[in-house]
């Protein structure tokens, strides 16, 4: 997608020296369970540049969504906190910003789309109103002007007969169309950063493909840095530039998408790929990963995957570093066996 | 444009589920209630033109006349026309009831949303206060307040409004708690909307249905309270005609001239029935669990 983006990007080409749109350095996010704080995201670092898509992959409970909430500054007060690290979005340090500062960033310079288009829209407000709302809130735009922009946005996300649909209510839209509305809302203020949390999970496969194609197209047009959170490796293969696999709050593997699918190295990545149905393989060969992600209080010290790992050795009681593979500095793996 | 729409993937068409209006009007109760209330309101508004006599005009020669062609509802102990008094009384009763209920809805809903939305200590305090207020029967509460404040139109409205507030706090808080867990509220936060915008632009319209149903039932209660207070002499001071007051005036001659109390009682009864029909009809229309 990056190559395509560079080839067809509109006049405002971004120089290579432009700082990353999202920079996360050593992020550790903790959540409180029964009065004690547990690290649910440990020392996660990454960058996403404009026109680039980074996919965060992993099972439920591995820290993907918590990472996204940390970037948005939306960790629930009292239950979640950022205990270490720095998050810079579009040149604004979100970890240093106060609540008003973070609020001004959300919706204005960071867009977010959610998994459930059926419930993420307010059922009693017309969609045009909801698309226009961020513009009214953040830009102080007048109602009429914001509505005109809402119409443009509906056309941008290719909602047919947008002008007639401006005053329609969410229940009058199908799931795919509602997800387009969500995308229009997220992009209303032309943010540079888009966080997509399982954007296609609730949609059926043909609609999934349409929505992903739309996102890819919008990414090029608007020059978006996209952080895609998903557990669907098929989606990753089709749209991501880089992949980060998370397990138990740790980044266990990080690689350019081609390198990842050519040589998945961490035992967890291997297991994820083996558990994914593929057309080039008989379906009986699906290998589920035994067990589930341990809850935070039960998380083993050292490598967090050791309780489910077939390759476990003595040394796994110690936390492995995220080491680059020999000859592939971009492809890094956190495993004593595979990347010692 | 139509060609585009036709070829569009999954072009949404508004599929008319049995509409709320149809569901509400199926039993007819809502329609009857609305017609009755509109009629009452029109009568109250048009009182100066449709009342056959001045409600305060005394005629000593016509004391305690039974219903006749000239005085459809008869006359009272001062020779005043009861029909005219009932018509004028509708003004006070409906005005006091609706202003007090509206004030109760406004204040109660705002406090309830704040309580449910923020939770924590604020919520605990508000809930405790609400429970204490609700533990008084509405009439006793109104009585205490009017006794303390003194009887006047404004104090009456204030007292009845205060009795209504806790009920609306409870309804609004409960609905807000449910609404707060909905995805669209998280989506609002992710869009950087402030608490005020989320509470009053997103949560409020979603809980209005419950508040309105509650409101129509409380309007009936408010009118009843006003009449009861007037009946025991704590209403709008005489000689202003109010339904409760007319019943009270007729009470001394109840055995000789029962029409004095019967006609205003029937007026109250009609409003009670109408408002309860509306409340039930609205509840049926807005509650998806209502059996079809």
pLDDT band at B25; cut points 50, 70, 90: low
Point out the residue among B5, B13, B205 whose CB comes nearest to the CB of A125: B205
Asked if B12 is an interface residue toward chain A (Cβ–Cβ < 8 A), one would say yes
In a domain, B92, yes or no: yes
- Domain region containing B156: 73-173+209-286
Residue B31 pLDDT exceeds 90: no
Contacts of B212 in chain A (CB under 8 A): none
Mean pLDDT, consecutive 10-residue segments, chain A of 340 residues? 42 57 91 89 91 89 87 85 90 87 89 86 90 89 89 89 89 88 90 89 83 89 91 88 92 92 90 80 73 83 86 86 87 87
- The alpha carbon of residue B10 is apart from the nearest alpha carbon of chain A, in Å, by 7
ipTM of the complex: 0.80
pLDDT band at B24; cut points 50, 70, 90: low
In a domain, B12, yes or no: no
Residue B269 pLDDT exceeds 60: yes
In a domain, B11, yes or no: no
* All domains in chain A, ordered by first residue: 2-109+189-333 (3.40.50.300)
CB contact under 8 A, A107 and B187: no
Question: pLDDT at position A11, please?
Answer: 40
- Residue A9, helix vs strand vs coil: coil
Which distant-in-sequence residues (6+ apart) come within 8 Å of B133 by Cβ?
B141, B163, B165, B166
In a domain, B67, yes or no: no
Model pLDDT for residues B188-232, shown as the tens digit of each residue: 988 889 889 999 999 999 998 889 888 988 998 888 888 888 888
CB contact under 8 A, B183 and A116: yes
Mutation choice for B interface testing from A110, A157, A160 by most B CBs within 10 A: A160
- The alpha carbon of residue B166 is apart from the nearest alpha carbon of chain A, in Å, by 26
Asked if B9 is an interface residue toward chain A (Cβ–Cβ < 8 A), one would say yes
Does B7 sit behind a cis peptide bond, omega within 30 degrees of 0 on the bond before it?
no
In a domain, B57, yes or no: no
In a domain, B193, yes or no: no
For B85, half-sphere exposure in the C-beta direction (CA atoms, 13 angstrom radius) is 34
Residue B52 pLDDT exceeds 80: no
Provide the number of CB pairs (under 8 Å) joining chain A to chain B.
91
Question: pLDDT at position B192, please?
Answer: 87
Point out the residue among A125, A160, A175 whose CB comes nearest to the CB of B4: A160
- Going from the C-alpha of A240 to that of each of A255, A293, B95, B99, the distances in angstroms are 11, 25, 65, 60
Chain B residue whose CA is closest to A120: B184
pLDDT band at B8; cut points 50, 70, 90: very low
Question: pLDDT at position A193, please?
Answer: 92
CB contact under 8 A, B12 and A138: no
Point out the residue among B4, B189, B192 whose CB comes nearest to the CB of A137: B192
Span between the terminal Cα atoms of chain B, in Å = 39
Q: In what order do the strands lie in the sheet with A250-256?
A: A110-113, A193-197, A225-230, A53-57, A242-247, A250-256, A328-333, A323-325
Contacts of B197 in chain A (CB under 8 A): 137
Asked if B11 is an interface residue toward chain A (Cβ–Cβ < 8 A), one would say yes
In a domain, B258, yes or no: yes
- Residue B265: CB atoms within 10 Å: 18
Chain A residue whose CA is closest to B5: A160
Mutation choice for B interface testing from A122, A137, A189, A208 by most B CBs within 10 A: A122
Asked if B178 is an interface residue toward chain A (Cβ–Cβ < 8 A), one would say no
pTM given for the model: 0.79
Asked if B119 is an interface residue toward chain A (Cβ–Cβ < 8 A), one would say no
CB contact under 8 A, B184 and A122: yes
CA distance B71 to A249: 85
Mutation choice for A interface testing from B10, B118, B189, B192 by most A CBs within 10 A: B192
As for how many domains chain B has, the answer is 1
Contacts of A210 in chain B (CB under 8 A): 9
> Comparing B6 with B128, which gets the higher pLDDT?
B128
In a domain, B68, yes or no: no
Mutation choice for A interface testing from B190, B200, B201 by most A CBs within 10 A: B190
pLDDT band at B107; cut points 50, 70, 90: very high
Question: pLDDT at position A244, please?
Answer: 94
Chain A residue whose CA is closest to B6: A160
Q: Are A187 and A218 in contact (CB under 8 A)?
A: yes
CA distance A111 to A187: 6
Asked if A109 is an interface residue toward chain B (Cβ–Cβ < 8 A), one would say no
CATH number of the CATH domain containing B230? 1.10.3720.10
Question: pLDDT at position A226, please?
Answer: 93
CA distance B157 to B102: 10
């Amino acid at each position: 997608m990056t190559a395509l983006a560079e080839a067809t990007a509109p006049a405002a080409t971004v120089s290579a020296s432009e700082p990353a749109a999202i920079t996360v350095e050593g992020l550790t996010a903790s959540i409180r369970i029964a009065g004690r704080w547990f690290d649910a995201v440990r020392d996660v670092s990454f960058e996403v540049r404009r026109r680039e898509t980074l996919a965060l992959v992993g099972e439920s409970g591995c820290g993907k969504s918590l990472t996204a909430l940390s970037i948005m500054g939306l960790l629930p007060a009292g239950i979640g906190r950022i205990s270490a690290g720095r998050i810079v979005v579009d040149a604004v340090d979100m970890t240093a910003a106060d609540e008003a500062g973070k609020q001004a960033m959300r919706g204005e310079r960071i867009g977010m789309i959610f998994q459930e288009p059926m419930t993420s829209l307010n059922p009693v407000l017309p969609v045009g109103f909801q698309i226009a709302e961020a513009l009214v809130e953040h830009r102080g735009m007048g109602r009429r002007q914001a509505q005109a922009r809402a119409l443009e946005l509906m056309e941008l996300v290719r909602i047919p007969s947008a002008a007639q649909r401006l005053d329609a209510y969410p229940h009058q839209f199908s799931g795919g169309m509602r997800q387009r509305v969500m995308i229009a809302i997220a992009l209303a203020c032309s943010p540079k950063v888009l966080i997509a949390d399982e954007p296609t999970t609730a949609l059926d496969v043909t609609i999934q493909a349409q929505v992903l194609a739309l996102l890819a197209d919008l990414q090029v047009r608007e020059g978006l840095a996209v952080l895609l959170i998903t557990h669907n490796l098929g989606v990753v293969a089709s749209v991501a530039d880089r992949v980060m696999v998370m397990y138990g709050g740790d980044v266990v593997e990080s690689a350019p998408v081609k390198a990842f699918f050519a040589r998945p190295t961490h035992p967890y990545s291997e297991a994820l790929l083996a558990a994914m149905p593929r057309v080039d393989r008989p379906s009986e060969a699906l290998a589920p990963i035994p067990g589930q992600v341990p809850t935070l209080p039960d998380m083993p010290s050292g490598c967090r995957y050791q309780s489910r790992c077939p390759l476990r050795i003595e040394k796994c009681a110690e936390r492995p570093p995220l080491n680059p593979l020999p000859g592939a500095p971009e492809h890094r793996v956190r495993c004593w066996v595979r990347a010692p | 444009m139509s060609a585009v729409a036709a070829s569009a993937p999954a072009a949404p068409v508004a599929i008319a589920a049995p509409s709320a209006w149809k569901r509400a009007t199926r039993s007819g109760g809502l329609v009857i209630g609305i017609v009755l209330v509109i009629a009452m309101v029109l009568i109250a508004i048009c009182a100066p033109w449709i009342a056959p006599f001045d409600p305060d005009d005394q005629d000593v020669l016509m004391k305690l006349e039974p219903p006749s062609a000239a005085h459809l509802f008869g006359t009272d102990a001062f020779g005043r026309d009861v029909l005219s008094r009932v018509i004028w009384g509708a003004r006070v009763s409906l005005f006091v009831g609706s202003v007090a209920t509206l004030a109760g809805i406004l204040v109660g809903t705002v406090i309830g949303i704040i309580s449910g939305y923020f939770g924590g200590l604020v919520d605990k305090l508000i809930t405790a206060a609400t429970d204490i207020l609700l533990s008084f029967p509405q009439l006793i509460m109104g009585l205490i307040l009017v006794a303390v404040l003194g009887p006047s139109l404004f104090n009456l409205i204030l007292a009845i409004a205060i009795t209504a507030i806790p009920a609306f706090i409870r309804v609004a808080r409960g609905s807000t708690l449910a609404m707060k867990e909905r995805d669209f509220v998280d989506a609002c936060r992710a869009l950087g909307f402030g608490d005020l915008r989320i509470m009053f632009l997103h949560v409020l319209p979603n809980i209005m249905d419950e508040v309105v149903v509650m409101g129509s039932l409380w309007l009936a209660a408010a009118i009843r309270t006003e009449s009861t207070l007037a009946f025991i002499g704590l209403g709008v001071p005489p000689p202003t005609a109010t339904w409760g007051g007319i019943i009270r005036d007729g009470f001394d001659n109840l055995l000789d001239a029962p029409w004095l109390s019967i006609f205003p009682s029937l007026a109250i009864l009609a409003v009670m029935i109408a408002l309860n029909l509306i409340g039930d009809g609205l509840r049926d229309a807005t509650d998806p669990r209502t059996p079809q």
